Chains A and B, each alone.
Chain A
Amino acid sequence: MLGPGLPASLEEVVGQLRQKLPRSADLVVRTLHRGQLGVFYISSLIDQDRLQRSVLAPLQRLGGRAATPQALLDIVPLGSVQVTRALADLIDGLLSGWVCLVLDSQKQAVLVQVDATPQAAEPQREYAVVGQQAAFTEDFNTNVALVRKMLPDSSLCNEALSVGTRSKTRLSLLYVRDIASEQNVNSIRQRITDLEIDSVTNISVLSHLIDDNSLSVFAQMMLTERPDLVTYALMEGKIAVLLDGSSLACLAPCTIWDFMKTSEDYNMRWNLALFVRGLRVFAMLSSTLITALYVAALTYHYQVIPINLLDSLIESRLRVPFPPLYEALLLEVIIELLREAGARLPTKVGQTMGIVGGIVIGEAAVQAGFTSNILIMLVALGALASFTAPNYIFGMVIRLLRFPMILLAGWLGMLGVMFGTAFLMLHLLRMTSLGHPYLWPLYPLRWKNWREALLRIRMPAYAHRSSYGRPEDTQRFSAVHAREQHDIDE
């Protein structure tokens, strides 16, 4: 038998359970038979129907006559049962969806498996080729269960709160007790309980209500539909918020780099993942600037373009009657219209519309002499690049940023683009997420944390947990073992 055994009295068992699984709102503790029998389970992991029919109903009929574990086993019509004397077994059982029956003064527990398989949805917004094909649903319990199934750890806390004076929407605060910093948990709990609002219907509304800077276009809390991303985040010391009726989880604190990560970055081999992540960051950067640079160069600084390239540029613009600024704005608006129309239509119609928009309008615009080929290529490239953003909202931000940049470029040339960039830098430097710097680890500079926050390198390098959010347990696995090296033929 491993670890401490079960105490004799039922009250003590309950006390120790509450101590080992603190702040677990879904831990149910019931006593039956005038305090002789304790029934414990984690409600989000349990198939309520089976629990009712196969465990609770027979126990009720028994009415206190069973004084031994054997008698309990006899009346439960289920296959997976187990008798244990260890508290650790009992907790592991609870966390994997078993019901625990504990008799007073017996020092034994009967575990019965009545777990439910959470019905996950298909990921729609954050698809991954390599990786889990599960997404959160609109059912609250299923969402909690999805996280609990991936992380059956007794330190995983699940605090129940509610928000909205009229809607009284249920809300769950998930975090790993000995990793997430207490300060972050307190501050997010404080922000939620301080809210005075009649109703909150969606988690994105909630995240706007509790973020640091509501004026910024950048989201400071990440919304994701993937339970695996939530699990990674919890292991990094982040806090997840689940709201009843929302199929997204909200993660905080977040850096800007978190919005550029996909779950595939973790699932692919490190060199592939590093390449793809680099490509993605480059795509997002160039998507913001590429059209603006074109406008600036063609309007004010044609000298920077080598003569051969300038030739083909001039040739393609020969019939275009507008200055580059208007030409670029026109095309950018068309692309945005296409995207918006595509988002509002069902998939099948959307495809047709993509063809109409992309090929017909694009081709016709060049034929009619409205725009140049080269600009169509650049704008399309920029749009394509912005769609590589793993997070839909972040992709929107990238696309929105292009417009002020293009306007600045048309107005002040390269200098305007630099003014925009400088403003963006200052803005990002001033931003915080739950009080933590948004550009970390680029600034404040933490070289050691680049490997998990910016880069993706081989697993042994990840022995230390990322220090963002100041986690309490700083080690993921033994770094000594990871550093072991052998000579040839040894």
Chain B
Amino acid sequence: MPLPSYTLGVIEASAYAPEVFARGLPSSLWSEQQSEGRVEPTGSVAAVASPLLSLQGIGLSFGGVVALADVDLSVRPGEIRAIIGPNGAGKSSLINVISGVYRPDRGHVLLDGVSYAQVPTQRLAHLGVARTFQNLALFKGLSVLDNVASGLAYKVRSNFAGQVLGIGRSRGEQRDSLSRADQVLEFLDLTAVRDRLAGTLPYGLQKRVELARALVAQPRLLLLDEPMAGMTASEKSEMAVFVRAARDRFATTVVLIEHDVGVVMGLSDRIAVLDYGRKIADATPDEVRNDQRVIDAYLGVASDNEDGAGI
């Protein structure tokens, strides 16, 4: 990003902030609880819990291309939240904003009540956020076990000299991270490939190892960028089971981006739909399925206007 627009973004974001807080935050919280009360009468615990993650008026553009425009999103603790949309709708941009890889031009990301203009990427793990990548981002030269154990690297406090000589707290740390990595491998049914180099595994397994690496730190918020892309149908449903099991076991909140609408409908508690960088729907799977704008933009049925009149 060129420097001038970067600084401009800062000014705009800070100038924008009071307005967002005055207008966006209280009212969105209010409407959140209102709608929750309406659509989910049983979810009373979730309804009173404040959001773990919330996006307020996020705008992001690359040159003249608007990737995200005024996107609000609120994720409650413990829910599985899907973000769907056609190609180029801004889904990956949104995940990159949440994880601090991109700095939004305007708007704020609130993590656990703390507001960020840009989420500090290097502090992400300490904030309890883990993510996976759309294109595999495993460390190919490390074994599966070491890949997963590296998910705990942010906690390591021993220095290299202690590790080389095996003194101080390094031994305990090493034992602890390997045993926790082993537990996660067992949980995701990866023990059989524990000592293989990650780069030699088939694609579907690599995706699962990435999930394991993200889970080993027991994050409060887990961001999954197309966790099922390129998988076969059976691999997808297997992955869906793992995602749900991970949420249940580690009490993790999950935000996931996915193309396969069928899998998402069965897996998610709520779904946000993006189209051309705007959020066009945000509701339960059933409501999204029947939302006319979502059908038009994404799910697709025969068009009413087959002649193309007016185009």
Do A and B truly interact? no
